[in-house]
């Protein structure tokens, strides 16, 4: 646990997770809960990164394979995989990731623009990067992950 | 909440009802389908709005309601004739009244000029037959005080007080008044000395219990002004002889005698006045009898209760959860492999029955008739007719049909749009109609009915029908279809629902407003409903909405397709069967039809259609469900097996995701997993946009 | 035991307002929605005072008052009519029908209760 630096004022807390060998982060304020993967019900005519829907205490929650959404290899499903339930606007979406690795606090000014080498898809869904110790962490832009664009080929 | 605030809300609710009543009544009057009670009802409605508005000090509303009411009173007592022009003014006044109510609620502002203009118009209407209405109201001969007050000239408060001589007439008692109560009220103004004149009391055999034999002389020592004293006699002023004179410095009985009233002094003990007087005692029955009747009366008085909507919604959600839990319980019982004869199965059946009854009960609470919604449409018709110079009659049917209140609320906008469209685009101008040999008045029909577990609402007009050549040209122009596309009439009509389609050459202020039929379609779909259109050139068009009865629960058949569990709504299922080889026919490369009692129905491989598998299943290995869409068209759905038949809770896919082709909604089954509910109409629609089957049979 | 007042009015708003003012003043209030209903409730409840509106469906205030007065059991029952300002004709007609007094709308709670006290035994 990292104690937020109160003098910085603009520090935010992030959930850090892994997709393959890479690390990404989501603003903790958007995260509703984190749960283990359970089999989803397939949706017809859905893009392949939509893994289906699950029952989240009575609500129907779509599951997005975030790795596949970013153009990486699909996540191999197992009970060890993690679903991060995030709120985007009025909707709840479950993001399938490999594992949650950290919760950390980061001053806003340390976030840098995404390097130009990244693919267009990555640029669409990653709003910036920041360094933590010797790791590089990408900050996910949530608003583009909500339906209906969620279902569109970006 | 502040009780007055609650009452204020009640007032606005009631206003809506009364505005509807007003409009309905005026419309009936306009077409001559009214009786005297109709006018009375309209008058009462406006009068009630005025009364309530007065209580909340909505001055503009009160003033206009008053002018309106005066004109209606003219209509009621025959001073004013229900001419077409008068009725037009009345209807516009009803619209303005509705807007003023909205203004009072803080939802709108009414233009002063419009208010003035209509107020003048109403005023002129009321005056038309010669006699100004205001004068008519004042011409009733009521004088507040009928007494001659003699030479009691100086109205300055006397230093001493007042001498009051009070002789009740028999009518005073007949109206439930009581001298003792008046004396009690006077006593609050100061010290008083009362003498009773009983000299007029007859002998017992001549005594009339309804007569008035007593008179009082009261010397009131008080600084109260004359009005205050007379005020106590306000209710009885016409039922008595009353004199109020300043008390002479040395009050004595002589002054009264000088007035010609003979008194036999009889002092009255003031405290006695508080004791019940004889007539009232007679009016009150013995307490025991009363108690019994009270109980009975309460049963008849409180027939309705008002409940916060949130509580009902919460209850509806809980029943949803109950249905899911029951499904889970049922699953557990099956998994426990209890013997079929086990009592657990019976108990489960009983529980299911109870759940169903609770569900139906809550549905009934949430249901409300479409009548207010339909009534709102009459105004829309009138406004659009006025703006377009068309003559229109709105006919409504099935107003008592009940819909879930969520449906009710979300139906207003689409319905408004359809009605506007019908008048603006559907109907012709009176000239065009006359030229086409039609009556000048166009007709828009709005009907609601329950049909096979759904609610069907139709909006139809007897106008020119859809101009298909123009619709097609427009669609080509907007790149919605290819220029050489071969489309059936139905397909052309359905182009209207495509996003970005608008037929009006100039987007009119009336139907335009930036919403197209695609918005209407998606709002109906979000209610689990669908919309279809049919049209005949020169005869008119009908837009038909089909909506689920309830948004919460449906009876479904649970089926298995390619390892996926799906639910088909029971109301759509005609039959299930295991097809025989001779009934399955190939039609083209990958299409098949099923002969079902001599009728060919398209056979759909649900697994392929939903993208759950790529190799077609063998129709003979599975089960076929014959389903029927809203329009009555059928198709045969191939599934692997039927698992169960049960009530399922409807969960929206759109809350967190989006609409999915072929899927009406989702549900949660006993194992806690999500299952999709099939959109039968989408399947039927897909198959029926193919070449007509009659060609091959 | 507190006095029972029967209010007869087709407007829910008005019934609610009467109810609020009168119950706060300690009266027990029973309601009826029109004259006909008023007669039913009257016979069942035997109220101490009646307050009635004039314009009502089925049986209006005048008819209601006349019917009450026709019943020997209620000949002396105080009946107040609700009337709007500037309606002396209504007051007069109500009086002819047998009304005891009137309450002018719009009323405030204080005024209402003082008028009720005036006719209350």
- At residue B688 the predicted structure's pLDDT band, cuts being 50, 70 and 90, is low
Taking a contact as any Cβ pair under 8 Å apart, which residues of chain B between 506 and 565 contact chain C?
none
Q: What is the pLDDT of residue B566?
A: 95
**Which of C11, C99, C101 comes nearest B14 by C-beta?**
C11
Would the CB atoms of A44 and B655 count as touching at under 8 Å? Answer: no
Residue, of A120 and C27, whose pLDDT is higher: C27
Would the CB atoms of A55 and B663 count as touching at under 8 Å? Answer: no
Closest-approach residue (CA) in chain C for B141 = C89
Would the CB atoms of A58 and B655 count as touching at under 8 Å? Answer: no
**Concatenated DSSP letters of A87-142:** EETTEEEEEEESEEEEEEEEEGGG-BPPPTTS-HHHHHHEEEEEEETTEEEEEE-G
- At residue B510 the predicted structure's pLDDT band, cuts being 50, 70 and 90, is very low
Q: What is the mean pLDDT of residues B348-367?
A: 84
Compute the mean pLDDT over every residue in chain B, rounded to the nearest whole number: 78
Neighbouring CB atoms inside 10 A of B36's CB total: 9
Q: What is the pLDDT of residue B130?
A: 41
Do B and C share at least 3 CB pairs under 8 Å? yes
Alpha carbon of B298 to those of A24, C20, C28, C41: distances in Å?
68, 18, 13, 9
Residue, of B310 and B433, whose pLDDT is higher: B433
Residue, of C34 and B589, whose pLDDT is higher: C34
Q: What is the pLDDT of residue B519?
A: 81
- At residue C103 the predicted structure's pLDDT band, cuts being 50, 70 and 90, is confident
Q: How many structural domains are present in chain C?
A: 1
Question: What would the CATH number be for the domain defined by B161-274?
Answer: 3.30.70
pLDDT digits (tens, 9 = 90+) for B446-480: 999 887 667 899 999 999 998 888 888 888 888 88
What CATH number is associated with residue C28? 3.40.50.2300
Q: What is the pLDDT of residue B200?
A: 72
Q: What is the mean pLDDT of residues A29-52?
A: 92
Q: What is the pLDDT of residue A153?
A: 36
Q: What is the pLDDT of residue B141?
A: 32
CB of A78 within 8 A of CB of A90?
Answer: no
Residue B207 has pLDDT above 80, yes or no: no
Tell whether B284 lies on the interface with C, counting CB pairs under 8 A: yes
Alpha carbon of B480 to those of B467, B483, B579: distances in Å?
17, 9, 40
The residue extents of the domains of chain B are 3-135, 161-274, 309-367, 370-548, 553-695
* CATH number among 3.40.1170.20, 3.30.360.10, 2.30.30.40, 3.50.50.60, domain B553-695: 2.30.30.40
Residue A2 has pLDDT above 70, yes or no: no
Compute the mean pLDDT over every residue in chain A, rounded to the nearest whole number: 85
Q: What is the pLDDT of residue B515?
A: 57
Rounded CA separation B421/B414 (Å): 10
Would the CB atoms of C84 and B48 count as touching at under 8 Å? Answer: no
Model's pTM, two decimal places?
0.49
- ipTM score here? 0.86
Q: What is the pLDDT of residue C85?
A: 62
Residue, of A83 and C93, whose pLDDT is higher: A83
Q: What is the mean pLDDT of residues B125-142?
A: 45
pLDDT digits (tens, 9 = 90+) for B187-203: 888 888 887 777 777 66
Task: Determine which of B437-446, B500-509, C32-41 has the lowest per-residue pLDDT on average.
Answer: B500-509
Q: What is the pLDDT of residue B514?
A: 42
Nearest to C116 by CA among C85, C81, C83, C90: C81
Q: What is the pLDDT of residue A75?
A: 92
pLDDT digits (tens, 9 = 90+) for B627-639: 987 667 889 999 9
CB of B10 within 8 A of CB of B1?
Answer: no
Would the CB atoms of B48 and C105 count as touching at under 8 Å? Answer: no
Q: How far off is chain B from A30, nearest CA to CA, in Å?
A: 15
**Concatenated DSSP letters of C49-99:** EEEE-SS-SSS-HHHHHHHHHHSGGGTT--EEEEEETT-HHHHHHHHHHT-
- Give the 3-state secondary structure of residue B528: coil
Q: What is the pLDDT of residue A4?
A: 45
| Residues above pLDDT 70, as percent of chain C | 96
Tell whether A88 lies on the interface with B, counting CB pairs under 8 A: no
Residue range of the domain that includes C39? 4-119
List, in order, residues 6 or more apart from B617 with CB less than 8 Å away: B562, B605, B607, B608, B638, B640
Nearest to B71 by CA among B56, B55, B91: B91
Strand partners, B402: B369
Q: Quote the distance between the C-alpha of residue A152 and its chain's center.
A: 18
Do A and C share at least 3 CB pairs under 8 Å? no
Residue, of B673 and B526, whose pLDDT is higher: B673
Query: What are the strands, taking DSSP E only, across B482-598?
Result: 530-536, 540-548, 553-561, 564-569, 573-577, 584-587, 591-596
Query: At the topology level of CATH, where does B370-548 sit?
Result: Heat Shock Protein 90 (3.30.565)
Q: Which residues of B touch A (CB under 8 A)?
A: 320-321, 324, 564-565, 609-612, 651-653, 655-658, 660-663, 666, 668, 672-676
Q: How far off is chain B from C53, nearest CA to CA, in Å?
A: 10
Q: What is the pLDDT of residue B262?
A: 43
* Domain A6-145 superfamily per CATH: CheA-289, Domain 4 (2.40.50.180)
pLDDT digits (tens, 9 = 90+) for B41-71: 899 899 889 888 888 889 889 889 988 988 8
Alpha carbon of A16 to those of A26, A33, A117: distances in Å?
7, 14, 22
Q: What is the pLDDT of residue B565?
A: 94
**Which of A45, A91, A150 comes nearest B611 by C-beta?**
A45
Question: What would the CATH number be for the domain defined by B3-135?
Answer: 1.20.120.160
Q: How far off is chain C from B396, nearest CA to CA, in Å?
A: 25
B676, HSE (Cβ side, Cα atoms, 13 Å):
29
Task: Determine which of A67-81, B346-360, B533-547 has the lowest per-residue pLDDT on average.
Answer: B346-360
Would the CB atoms of B320 and A62 count as touching at under 8 Å? Answer: no
Q: What is the pLDDT of residue B376?
A: 84
Would the CB atoms of B301 and C41 count as touching at under 8 Å? Answer: yes
Closest-approach residue (CA) in chain A for B320 = A58
DSSP B637: E
Q: How far off is chain C from B281, nearest CA to CA, in Å?
A: 10
Residue B325 has pLDDT above 70, yes or no: yes
Taking a contact as any Cβ pair under 8 Å apart, which residues of chain B between 241 and 280 contact chain C?
276-277, 279-280
* CATH number among 1.10.287, 3.30.70, 1.20.120, 1.10.10, domain B309-367: 1.10.287
pLDDT digits (tens, 9 = 90+) for B245-278: 887 654 444 444 444 444 444 444 433 333 334 4
Alpha carbon of B363 to those of B28, B400, B457, B551: distances in Å?
33, 16, 19, 9
- C-chain residues near B14 (CB < 8 A): 11-13
- Which of C56, C76, C95, C115 has the most B C-beta neighbours within 10 Å, making it the best mutation to test the interface with B? C76
Neighbouring CB atoms inside 10 A of B526's CB total: 12
| Residues above pLDDT 90, as percent of chain B | 14
Residue, of B96 and B302, whose pLDDT is higher: B96
Closest-approach residue (CA) in chain A for B656 = A91
List, in order, residues 6 or more apart from B10 with CB less than 8 Å away: C12, C13, C16
Q: How far off is chain A from B686, nearest CA to CA, in Å?
A: 15
Task: Determine which of B119-133, B147-161, B308-322 has the lowest per-residue pLDDT on average.
Answer: B147-161
Q: How far off is chain A from B315, nearest CA to CA, in Å?
A: 15
Tell whether A91 lies on the interface with B, counting CB pairs under 8 A: yes
Subunits touching B (CB < 8 Å, at least 3 pairs)?
A, C
pLDDT digits (tens, 9 = 90+) for B610-628: 988 888 888 888 899 999 8
Q: What is the pLDDT of residue C72?
A: 82
pLDDT digits (tens, 9 = 90+) for C53-66: 988 888 988 899 99
Q: What pairing do the DSSP bridges indicate for beta strands A59-65 and A91-97?
A: parallel
Would the CB atoms of C31 and B301 count as touching at under 8 Å? Answer: yes
């Amino acid at each position: 646990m990292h104690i937020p630096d109160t003098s910085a004022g603009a520090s935010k807390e992030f959930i850090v997770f892994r997709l393959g060998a890479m690390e990404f982060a989501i603003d903790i304020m958007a995260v509703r809960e984190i749960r283990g993967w359970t089999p989803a019900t397939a949706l017809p005519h859905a893009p392949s990164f939509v893994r289906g829907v699950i029952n989240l205490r009575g609500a129907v929650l779509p599951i997005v394979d975030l790795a596949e959404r970013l153009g990486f290899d699909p996540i191999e499903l197992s009970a060890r995989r993690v679903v991060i339930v995030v709120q985007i606007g009025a909707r709840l979406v479950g993001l399938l990731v490999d594992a949650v690795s950290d919760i950390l606090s980061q001053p806003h000014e340390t976030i840098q623009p995404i390097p130009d080498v990244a693919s267009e898809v990555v640029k669409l869904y990653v709003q910036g990067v920041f360094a933590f110790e010797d790791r590089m962490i990408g900050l996910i832009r949530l608003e583009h992950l909500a339906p209906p664009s969620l279902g569109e080929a970006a | 909440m502040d009780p007055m605030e609650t009452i204020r809300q009640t007032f606005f609710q009631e206003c809506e009802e009364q505005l509807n009543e007003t409009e309905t009544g005026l419309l009936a009057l306009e077409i001559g389908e009214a009786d005297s009670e109709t006018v009375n009802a309209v008058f009462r409605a406006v009068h009630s709005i005025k009364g309530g508005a007065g209580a909340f000090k909505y001055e503009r509303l009160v003033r206009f309601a008053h002018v309106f009411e005066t004109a209606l009173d003219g209509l009621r007592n025959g001073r004013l004739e229900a001419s077409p022009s008068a009725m037009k003014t009345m209807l516009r006044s009803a619209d303005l009244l509705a807007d003023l109510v909205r203004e009072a609620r803080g939802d709108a502002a009414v233009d002063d000029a419009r208010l003035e203009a209509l107020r003048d118009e109403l005023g002129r209407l009321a005056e038309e037959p010669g006699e100004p209405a205001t004068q008519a109201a004042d011409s009733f001969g009521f004088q507040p005080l009928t007494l001659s007050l003699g030479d009691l000239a100086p109205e300055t408060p006397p230093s001493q007080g007042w001498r009051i001589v009070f002789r009740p007439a028999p009518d005073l008692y007949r109206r439930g008044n009581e001298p003792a109560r008046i004396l009690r009220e006077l006593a609050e103004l100061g010290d008083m000395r009362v003498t009773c004149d009983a000299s007029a009391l007859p002998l017992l055999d001549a005594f009339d219990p309804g007569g008035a034999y007593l008179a009082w002389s009261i010397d009131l020592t008080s600084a109260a002004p004359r009005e205050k004293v007379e005020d106590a006699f306000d209710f009885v002023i016409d039922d008595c002889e009353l004199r109020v004179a300043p008390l002479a410095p040395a009050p004595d009985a002589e002054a009264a005698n000088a007035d010609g009233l003979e008194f036999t002094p009889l002092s009255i003990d003031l405290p006695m006045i508080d004791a019940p007087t004889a007539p009232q005692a007679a009016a009150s029955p013995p307490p025991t009898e009363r108690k019994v009747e009270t109980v009975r009366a309460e049963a008849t008085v409180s027939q309705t209760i008002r409940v916060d909507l949130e509580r009902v919604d919460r209850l509806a959600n809980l029943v949803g959860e109950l249905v899911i839990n029951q499904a889970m319980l049922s699953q557990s019982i099956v998994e426990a492999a209890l013997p079929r004869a086990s009592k657990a199965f019976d108990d489960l059946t009983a529980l299911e029955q109870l759940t169903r009854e609770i569900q139906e009960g809550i549905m009934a609470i949430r249901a409300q008739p479409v009548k207010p919604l339909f009534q709102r449409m009459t105004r829309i018709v009138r406004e659009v007719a006025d703006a377009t110079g068309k003559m229109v009659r709105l006919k409504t049917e099935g107003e008592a049909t009940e819909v879930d209140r969520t449906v009710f609320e979300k139906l207003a906008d689409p319905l408004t749009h359809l009605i506007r469209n019908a008048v603006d685009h559907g109907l012709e101008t009176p000239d065009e109609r006359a030229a086409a040999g039609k009556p000048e008045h166009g007709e828009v029909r709005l009907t609601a009915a329950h049909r096979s577990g759904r609610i069907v609402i139709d909006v139809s007009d007897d106008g020119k029908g859809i101009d298909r050549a123009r619709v097609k040209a427009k669609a080509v122009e907007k790149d919605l279809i290819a220029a050489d596309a071969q489309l059936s009439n139905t397909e052309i009509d359905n182009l209207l629902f495509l996003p970005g389609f608008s037929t009006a050459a100039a987007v009119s202020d009336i139907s335009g407003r930036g919403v197209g039929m695609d918005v209407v379609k998606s709002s109906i779909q979000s209610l689990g409903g669908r919309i279809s259109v049919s049209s005949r050139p020169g005869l008119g068009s009908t837009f038909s909405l089909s909506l689920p009865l309830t948004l919460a629960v449906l009876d479904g058949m649970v089926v298995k397709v390619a390892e996926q569990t799906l639910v088909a709504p029971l109301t759509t299922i005609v039959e299930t069967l295991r097809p025989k080889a001779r009934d399955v026919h190939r039609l083209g490369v990958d299409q098949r039809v099923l002969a079902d009692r001599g009728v060919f129905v398209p056979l759909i491989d649900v697994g392929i259609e939903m993208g759950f598998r790529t190799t077609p299943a063998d129709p003979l290995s599975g089960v076929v469900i014959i389903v029927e869409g809203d329009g009555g068209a059928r198709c045969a759905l191939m599934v692997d097996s039927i698992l169960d038949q049960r009530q399922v809770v409807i969960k929206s896919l759109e809350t967190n995701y989006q609409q999915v082709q072929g899927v009406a909604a989702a549900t949660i089954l006993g194992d806690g997993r999500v299952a999709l509910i099939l959109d039968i109409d989408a399947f039927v629609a897909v198959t029926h946009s193919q070449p007509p089957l009659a060609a091959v049979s | 035991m507190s006095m029972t007042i029967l209010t007869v009015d087709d407007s829910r708003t008005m019934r609610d307002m009467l109810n609020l003012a009168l119950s706060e003043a300690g009266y027990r209030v029973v309601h009826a929605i029109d004259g006909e209903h008023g007669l039913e409730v009257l016979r069942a409840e035997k109220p101490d005072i009646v307050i009635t509106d004039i314009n009502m469906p089925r049986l209006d205030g005048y008819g209601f008052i006349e019917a009450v007065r026709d019943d020997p059991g209620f000949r002396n029952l105080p009946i107040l009519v609700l009337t709007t300002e500037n309606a002396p004709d209504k007051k007069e007609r109500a009086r002819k029908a047998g009304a005891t007094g009137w309450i002018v709308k719009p009323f405030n709670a204080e005024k209402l209760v003082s008028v009720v006290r005036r006719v209350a035994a």
